[in-house]
Amino acid sequence: MATAPELLPYSRIRQDLFRPLAGISRNYLLATLAALTVGAAGLLAWGYQLHRGMGVTGLQRPVFWGLYIVDFVFWIGISHAGTLISAILRLTDATWRKPITRAAEAITVFALAIGAMFPIIHLGRAWLFYWLLPYPNARMIWPNFRSPLLWDLTAIVTYMTGSTIYLYLPMIPDMAQLAEHNTRWRRVLYGALSLGWTGSDREWLALGRAIKLMACLILAVAVSVHTVVAWDFSMALAPMWHSTIFGPYFVAGAIFSGIAALVVVMAALRKVLHLELYLTRRHFNNLAKLLLLMSLLWFYFTMAENLTVWYGNEPKEMAVFGARTRAHYAPYFWATVILNFVVPLVLLGVRRLRTIATATMASVCVLVGMWLERFVIVVPTLANPRLAAAASLYTPTWVEVAITAATFAAMGMMYLVFSKLFPIIAVWEFKPHEQEEA
């Protein structure tokens, strides 16, 4: 039986967790190269779109929101992994969280940075993004603060600021340790980032208080951010968007996809960085149970939303409902039900089947399913507007697909760089404490 990491000597823990920072393996280089290639293809596609205009996308009347908004909602959802998982587990003092919190918090920052790019990509004339900022135009008219676009901006800025600080705070003691014995440029980097941390009791107490308070604040912000994203849709009087449960439905979906992303990232880190001793079956088992719970909650919301529409039988709503469940978009809708509910229920609901491999498989399915779910929410409503004669179909072009693929590569790239610069598991939090040793 493997030794619990808390029982290992601290020197060994430090050695194990700082080891991945040194040296670059061939596999690491190959992965970086692959991510760079896909990322570069996406940048080229974006450059082409900037040069030729939005006509190169599949967006046309009446479907003005396509893959870009799907990606935006998806990545903002993924960003809920860190804040919610980490903050909830910190506040409840769950000791098993220690190896997973930093990985989760990093997902939040990276996913948010990627998600925040999409409104700018979607603008078309991206160089005018600063029009969103609160400053008066030539006629001294300020932006309309009642616009959901401004809501998104403030919500994302707040969330980005909060989650970056929330990621940074617990890294300070580790960076102070790394600054002691390292190569010159790393010493400079970690020394600057650790702000002269000495490990005094004043610093530890202030850090503990700040992390606790930030956990409380970030929870409130995380819930509000995805609610605001949901309100982008539900404030419109569009069929199957104008729904009061969209806020909690989106928040539940965000936590769901966030946990799935965390499991996939943990499985990759475990394998690549050889962290089998630290990311154990227990962690995957606990996260798998959370994933299963969120799967059930997601199914409940999906049922509540669709059953109400079906029972109401309102013609305009039924047009969208029909497109989703029986017509053009039906394969996507039913795929979401299978990937988000049936697969997790079978793989994670049966105790004997619940392993690291099945938890990872179920998480990959959930990620695909949640991306499709965002697609099924965004596109069919726009494709079937209240004016039936205006109904149309939407097919994304290679430009949108390339940019979407690039965002996944960007996520991988950011994680690769992060895991080479900073320990992916908080080392100081692993130091055995008296009560745990007892």
Q: Name, in order, each residue with C-beta under 8 angstroms of 272's C-beta and a sequence gap of 6 or more.
A: 27, 28
Query: Which pair of tokens denotes residue 195?
Result: 């702000």
- Nearest distance in Å: CB 208, other proteins: 6
Instruction: State which of positions 351-370 bind other proteins (CB under 8 A).
Output: none
Cβ atoms within 10 Å, residue 255: 26
> What is the per-residue binding string for other proteins in 384-403, x denoting contact by CB under 8 A?
--------------------
**Interaction between residue 431 and other proteins (CB under 8 A):** yes
> Does the protein bind other proteins through residue 208 (CB under 8 A)?
yes
Q: Which of 1, 184, 434, 437 binds other proteins (CB under 8 A)?
A: 434
**Using rule CB under 8 A, residue 206 touches other proteins:** yes
Q: Among 30, 188, 205, 390, which residue interacts with other proteins (rule: CB under 8 A)?
A: 205
Q: Does 433 bind other proteins (CB under 8 A)?
A: yes
Buried b (16+ CB within 10 A) or exposed e, 129-142: eeebeeeeeeeeee
Phi, psi of 197 (to 5 degrees): -60, 130
Instruction: Tell me which stretch binds other proteins (CB under 8 A): 73-81, 153-161, 293-301, 414-422.
Output: 153-161
Q: Give yes or no for residue 136 binding other proteins (CB under 8 A).
A: yes
Two tokens, residue 267 = 């499985």
Residue 325 CB, shortest distance to other proteins, in Å, is 32
- Among 57, 24, 28, 35, smallest CA distance to 114 is for 35
Q: How far is the CB of 261 from other proteins (least distance, A)?
A: 23
Tokens in use for 108? 């939040």
For helices 356-383 and 246-272, what crossing angle results, to 10°?
140
Question: Which of 315, 291, 317 has the alpha carbon at shortest distance from 381?
Answer: 317
Residue with smaller CB distance to other proteins, 49 or 163? 163
Considering the rule CB under 8 A, would residue 141 count as an interface residue with other proteins?
Answer: yes
**CA atoms lying within 13 Å on the CB side of residue 83:** 34
221 binds other proteins (CB under 8 A): yes
Q: Dihedrals φ, ψ of 143, to 5°?
A: -60, 155
Q: Is residue 50 part of the contact set for other proteins (CB under 8 A)? A: no
Which stretch in 18-26, 108-116, 189-197, 383-391 sits in contact with other proteins by CB under 8 A? 189-197
Closest approach of other proteins to the CB of residue 391, in Å: 31
Using the contact rule CB under 8 A, the part of the chain among 195-203, 264-272, 358-366, 407-415 near other proteins is 195-203
CA–CA separation, 358 vs 336, rounded Å? 18
**Cα 235 from Cα 370, distance rounded (Å):** 22
Looking from the CA of 392 toward its CB, the CA atoms found within 13 Å total 13
Q: How far is the CB of 242 from other proteins (least distance, A)?
A: 16
Q: Is 350 left (phi over 0), alpha (psi -120 to 50) or beta?
A: beta
Distance CA 196, CA 354 (A): 45
- Cα separation of 259 and 244, whole Å? 25
Under rule CB under 8 A, residue 204 binds other proteins: yes
Minimum distance, C-beta of residue 175 to other proteins, in the bound complex (Å): 12
Choose which of 45, 73, 114, 228 interacts with other proteins (CB under 8 A).
228
Closest distance of CB 271 from other proteins, Å? 29
Regarding 12 and contact with other proteins (CB under 8 A), the answer is no
Q: Specify the amino acid at residue 375.
A: F
**Residue numbers at the binding site for other proteins (CB under 8 A):** 10-11, 134, 136, 139-142, 145-146, 150-151, 154-155, 157-158, 161-162, 165, 169, 173, 177, 195-210, 213-214, 217-218, 220-221, 224, 228, 231, 428, 431, 433-434
